[in-house]
Amino acid sequence: MELFPRSMTFLLILFISYFFCLSKATDCGGKDVSNTITVGQDGKVTFRTIQAAIDSVKSNNDRWVKIHIKAGTYIEKVQIPIEKPCIILEGEGSQRTIISFSNDDKTKNSAIFISSPPNIVLSDITFKNSYNVDNISAQIFPAVAATIYGDKSFILRCSFLGYQDTLFDAYGRHYYKDCYIQGEVDFIFGGGQAYFENCLLNATGRNKDLPGFVTAQGRKFSNSSSGFVFEGGSLVGNGKVNLGRAWKAYSRVIFHKTNFSSVVSPEGWNSFGRTGQEISKITYAEVDCKGPGADTSKRVPWIKKLSPSQLEEFSLASFINKDSWLDNLPTIS
């Protein structure tokens, strides 16, 4: 496994600032869906490709538009541009509706799915970057399955398949529920403020002597709201994997009531070379976790112990839903 640098440009910072302003101005007109577009590979459908359906949505959209994607494997790269919020991408089950493409490049360019605007819902779809998944003999490079930039994104029953850098949770508040995420090297990473509820994490190690990393969380500042919280769910796999390493100085990851298989390494966490800064800056915690990998007796000595009040700060309501945006989403069956 090889490490690759990840740099953020000034243009990206401007881009992020813009969509945060956009997220404050857009409420999508309530819970009602104003229009439904159907995508499929045969039969009576509106479009044959997912990207064509997204392109048909008007710029500065301010009402929920559902794009229903019929079962099938769609070999395409898909992007929701920043000027098109209030979109629901709905599949027919993550085992049946699959977006797949093979692409290796720098992290920010390799994603086969990119969602940039606020107020996006994804449900029942698999996002697969097949580069490191199907080509197991090839050299490993970053190959992102999905990048989520936009604030107030809800992802339900989706699967993300990759090996290195599978899911780039970049910026904003994101809620992942009942999802499947597969990889080995930093396979959930970024500077987002994300809550993962009842998700299945599968560490697919190829080198049993070299543990991978589930997370590489990128919280940069002490006052940043960024962080990853895992509530319930399970971590399985083969070989060994660390729970996380500190991509940025104030990296923050909490596991609460998660079931850990024996795939978790005894030390559990890695400071990524930030020796001497672990206690003062990094927040890594495991609370009430279970399973053969939940033994913390040999963990790094600087993992945090959270009081009940501190743990409450990382609840769904407190961590990402203080303004009740999740309560204003359309009903997803």
Cα distance between residue 326 and residue 216, in whole Å: 26
**Backbone φ and ψ of 130, nearest 5°:** -80, -5
CB 209 within 8 A of CB 201: no
Asked about 209 being catalytic, the answer comes back as no
Tokens of 132: 């490191």
Cα distance between residue 219 and residue 225, in whole Å: 8
Asked about 186 being catalytic, the answer comes back as yes
First to last CA, the chain: 40
Specify the pairing of strand 113-115 against strand 259-260: unpaired
- What order of strands is seen across the sheet that includes strand 153-156? 33-39, 64-69, 87-90, 120-123, 153-156, 173-177, 193-197, 227-231, 252-256, 283-287
CB 226 within 8 A of CB 219: yes
**Which one of the listed residues 124, 165, 169, 178 is annotated catalytic?**
165
For the chain, the 3-state helix, strand and coil shares in percent, each to the nearest 5, are 15, 35, 50
**Which one of the listed residues 186, 209, 295, 327 is annotated catalytic?**
186
Q: Who contacts 188 (Cβ-Cβ below 8 Å, separation ≥6)?
A: 166, 167, 169, 181, 196, 201, 214, 215, 216, 228
How far does Cα 315 stand from its chain's mean position?
Answer: 18
Tokens of 320: 């990402």
Q: Who contacts 36 (Cβ-Cβ below 8 Å, separation ≥6)?
A: 65, 66, 67, 68
CB 211 within 8 A of CB 192: no
User: Which secondary structure element, helix H or strand E, spans residue 172, and what is its range?
Assistant: none
Cα distance between residue 226 and residue 291, in whole Å: 28
Active centre residues (catalytic): 165, 186
